Amino acid sequence: MGDATRWDADRRRIDEALAALPGRMGAPAPLEEAMAWPLLAGGKRLRPLLVLSARGMYGADGPDALPVACALELVHTYSLVHDDLPAMDDDDLRRGRPTCHVVYGDALAILAGDGLLTHAFQVVAEGCAGWPDRGLAVVAELARAAGPGGMVAGQAVDIVSTGRGLLPEAHRAMCAQKTGALLSAAVRCGALLGGAGPGDLEALGRYGRALGLAFQAVDDLLDAEGDPAEVGKGLHKDAEQGKTTFVDLLGHEGARAQAGAWAREAVEALAPFGDRAEGLRDLAERAVRRTR
């Protein structure tokens, strides 16, 4: 995902839009800095790219996708900041930089996460002001995916099961919530902005869920065998912390093969969209080839 690609121009648009946000949030200086630090550290921007790509499958009628693309990255970044806290995964390095709490302290890092999460919904509301029905649908989709029945649920199961292990089915369900829910929401939010109907949303949900599993399996492989300079975060954390991973359950080659199979499943879910889904197809293929 990190190579020079057809996605560079979109990534630049996303980065510029994100860079403009912290100064407009009305936050006092230390909080603004603590939000900007993780947000502008140069992640892969997969979730915003999924929003733009899904939106691009539909006509021009409807809200611009860039604010919603930024909102997905705000929610994702909040989850990373909170995940890195000592009370959760306790990571010192993220996106190639010291983590938010290492630089600004735990209290400001918690507040930075809170600020990023809540600001996401302001950005959606303002970005969709002329299209209230679509804006409300996006708010509902994003809140459901990020909330206590989605990403927060996955994180809770992850935390509670650490050191105890998870059976394969429970582990897969946890990954679907922790990683897959937000990826699915990114694609479905992009489609909702374009006026997608239930059939399209269902197919895109299948794409997002399969992509989430593929993405997580690759994440586990990178944790086990990635290049630390490239990955930009502490490695071998899963084994140190006693977390169940796809590598434990399937072995290295098994996890690689399964990631490929899930990526193919994601691509197959795009069949009804034909050539319009070329971008989403490419993103799924890149997600399994990535080295960071």
Helix (H) or strand (E) holding 84: none
* Site for ligand GRG contains 209 (CB under 6 A): no
* Site for ligand GRG contains 99 (CB under 6 A): no
Which residues pair with residue 94 across a beta bridge?
A: 97
We find the least distance from the C-beta atom of residue 95 to ligand GRG, in angstroms, to be 5
Amino acid at 6: R
> 95, 101, 171, 286: which one contacts ligand GRG (CB under 6 A)?
95
* Site for ligand GRG contains 116 (CB under 6 A): no
Site for ligand GRG in 23-52 (CB under 6 A): 43-44, 46
> 15, 32, 141, 219: which one contacts ligand GRG (CB under 6 A)?
219
Which residues pair with residue 93 across a beta bridge?
A: 98
> 15, 83, 141, 200: which one contacts ligand GRG (CB under 6 A)?
83
Which residues pair with residue 98 across a beta bridge?
A: 93
Using alpha carbons only, what angle is made at residue 1 by residues 279 and 11, rounded to the nearest 5 degrees?
70
We find the least distance from the C-beta atom of residue 195 to ligand GRG, in angstroms, to be 27
We find the least distance from the C-beta atom of residue 148 to ligand GRG, in angstroms, to be 9
> 93, 102, 143, 152: which one contacts ligand GRG (CB under 6 A)?
152
Between CA 232 and CA 225 the distance in angstroms is: 13
Burial of residue 182 (number of CB atoms within 10 Å: 0-12, 13-18, 19+): buried
> 11, 119, 171, 178: which one contacts ligand GRG (CB under 6 A)?
178
* Site for ligand GRG contains 111 (CB under 6 A): no
Between CA 2 and CA 172 the distance in angstroms is: 26
* Site for ligand GRG contains 211 (CB under 6 A): no
* Site for ligand GRG contains 128 (CB under 6 A): no
Structure tokens at 29: 């200086």
Q: Which residue has the tokens 């929003």?
A: 51
Among 61, 209, 205, 46, which Cα is nearest to 134's? 61
Q: Is the dihedral of CA 42, 46, 47, 51 positive or negative?
A: positive
Number of residue whose CB is nearest ligand GRG: 43
* Site for ligand GRG contains 200 (CB under 6 A): no
Residues that bind ligand GRG (CB under 6 A): 43-44, 46, 76, 79-80, 82-83, 95, 151-152, 155, 178-179, 216, 219
